[in-house]
Structures are given as structure tokens and as C-alpha cells.
Structure 1
Amino acid sequence: MQNTNGGASLVIALVVVGLVVRQQLRTRPVRRNGSLIAPAVLGVLGASGIAFGIASVIKYHPLTMLPVVLLVASLAVAAVFGAVRAGTIRVWRGPQGEVLRKGTAATTGLWLASVGVHIGLGLWIDHAVGTGLLGTASLYAYLAIGLGTQNLLVRGRAVAL
């Protein structure tokens, strides 16, 4: 089965990743709930994408254990990258006592590495499934878990200030 929306999906995914990385490089306040909104939205998109991917796969192929294990491993890798990235984000008190955050060059490098790893795992998942849907469809869930982990750890550092 061929994915006819692959080009459009790739462009949308690249725009989303670009926006996420751009946000990381801006100086912004650490907010109590604001840092969890983007991961929540991405999580909803990711869950629906994975459900759509699985439904599309089982329509044409039996879903074996290997792609499921690879998908779970991919999401675990997202959490690890998020935890490592959290340590590269500067967190400090601003002039009015507010807590600020800003990503560094290392943060950007880790985002790029993380997306590269996801692309590799996504291709492996899609190869194992025999169609190009499930690995690609998991990008938003991957971003949600990685960004959510990162933001929770940054918030923890902010509280400790």
C-alpha cells in the first residue's frame, strides 16, 4: 500500500518540528501549566495518528510483534532524549524574580539527533509492517513524549530555584 499524502505529511511534520525547536531557543518564562499544553496537543495528535496507522496496517497486513516493540522503543527513546535535553536548557531567575528558560546549541543538536533517530526507527517500523504508515504516524506521539519529559524536568529545576 502506498501513502499518497507522504509529501504533505512530511512538510507538516517538518514545520511542527521547526516550530518546536524555534520555541526552545527563545527566552521564555517557565509557566506552571503552559509547558504542558503543547505536549498535550501533540499527544492527542499522536494517539490519533498511531490509531490511524494501526488501523491502516491491519486493513492490509497482520500486525506482528516487531513493529509494536519498535514503536514502544521509539517512544522510550523520545523520553530519554527529552530527559537529556532538559539538562541543556538554561534556567535562571529574571530581574523581577520570574523563572526564565532558554535552550542552547546543545538543545538544538539534541532535537535534530532525536528527530533523526525517530526517522530511522520510523523507517524500520514501516519496513517491519510492510507499509509506510505506522512509523510516520507516530511522530506527534514521539514529540509529545520527548517534549513533555523535557518540560516536566525543566519545571522541576525551576521549582528548585
Structure 2
Amino acid sequence: MQSTHGGAALAITVVVVGLVIRRQLRIRPVRRVGSLIAPAVLGVLGVAATAFGVASVVKDRPLTAMPVVLLVASLAVAAGFGVARARTVRVWRDPQGGEVLRKGTAATTGLWVAAGAVHLGLGLWIDHAAGAGILGPASLYAYLAVGLGAQNLLVRRRAAAL
């Protein structure tokens, strides 16, 4: 059961991170509000999925402090990756239209892949500490929301300086 769960968690992580990377590599305008919509949606999904994960763990056993600490640590790691990625995103003013544009780089992609791998590892550790295999993968949306939110806020700040 655990290996099936691990394979599903890996597949979900790869698909979601792949979709995010694909979007990051496109030239897009920097928007004041639009850049926060995706993190907000992911945040709502993250809270719901994490709550479901916690509920699934506590129905069979008490939730100890260790998985909670690891979950909070994973969100801090996500924010750190978001800060690092923000520095790798190209931001410039379009000379023709004057609009501020953004585009991820190869370094941005590498940091997304690393962030996905780190989340997968932390998720497995969280599940091991919780004694159940759902809380780690359930936190993926929250992890993405925090990381993408931090990245987008910093990219917006850089764009405003142009």
C-alpha cells in the first residue's frame, strides 16, 4: 500500500509542478492582482486538502507534534524556494507597449524541480512521522501556494520598480 501511495504522490507532484513550470516559462505580463489569484486558489485547495489529510490521520491515531512541525517546516522551505525563484525570473518593460513582462529562466525551472523533489521527500517524512500516508501529499497545494505566492510578490515588487 505504501509503495502505491508513494507512486501516486510522485505522479501528482510531477504533474502539478510540470504545469506550474510550463506556465512560468511563458512570457506573461506582470499583473497587480492576477499574480496572486493562483496562489490564493492553491491556498484554498491546500487548506482543504491538508485538513482532509489531518482528519484521515486522527481518525486512526492521535496526531503528534512531529508531523505538524515538519508540515510547518515544509511551508517555510516553500517560501525560501519562492524567494530564490523570484530572483531568477526575468522582468522587463516591453519597449513597444510599455507593459512589464516576466519569464522564468532555466534556473527558475531547476528551482521548481528541486522544490518538487524536496516536497516529495518532506511529504514522505511527514507521513512516516504521522504513521499514515496522506498528510504529506495533501500538503502539496499549500506548499505550492506559499512558494508561488512568495515568488509572485517579489516579482511584482521588482516590476513596480521598473
Q: TM-score range by the shorter chain?
A: over 0.9
Higher mean alpha-carbon deviation, 13-22 vs 116-125, is at 13-22
Partner of 2:158: 157
Task: Return 5+ residue gaps in structure 2 as ranges.
Answer: none
Per-residue deviation, 1:5: 7.1
Partner SS for 1:87: helix
Partner of 2:43: 43
The one-letter code sitting in structure 2 at the alignment partner of 1:106 is: A
Distance 2:44 2:7 in 1: 22
Runs of 4+ in structure 1 off by over 4 angstroms are: 1-10
Distance 1:10 1:119 in 2: 7
Change (3 A) 1:43 1:14: same
Distance 1:3 1:54 in 2: 20
Partner SS for 1:74: helix
Deviations 1:105-145 (A, max 9, x none): 00000000011111111100000011101111000000000
The one-letter code sitting in structure 1 at the alignment partner of 2:71 is: L
Partner of 1:137: 138
**TM-score relative to the length of structure 2:** 0.93
Partner of 1:83: 83
Partner SS for 2:88: coil
Per-residue deviation, 1:19: 1.0
Deviations 1:4-52 (A, max 9, x none): 8776665444322211100110111001111111111111110001100
**TM-score relative to the length of structure 1:** 0.94
Distance 1:143 1:10 in 2: 15
Give the root-mean-square deviation of aligned CA atoms.
Answer: 1.7
Deviations 1:45-103 (A, max 9, x none): 10001100000000011100000000000000000000010000000000211000000
Partner of 2:54: 54
Task: Return 5+ residue gaps in structure 1 as ranges.
Answer: none
Partner of 1:123: 124
| Contact residue 3 and residue 132 of structure 1 kept, 8 A | no
* 1:87-102 matched pairs, under 5 angstroms: 87-94=87-94, 95-102=96-103
Partner SS for 1:91: strand
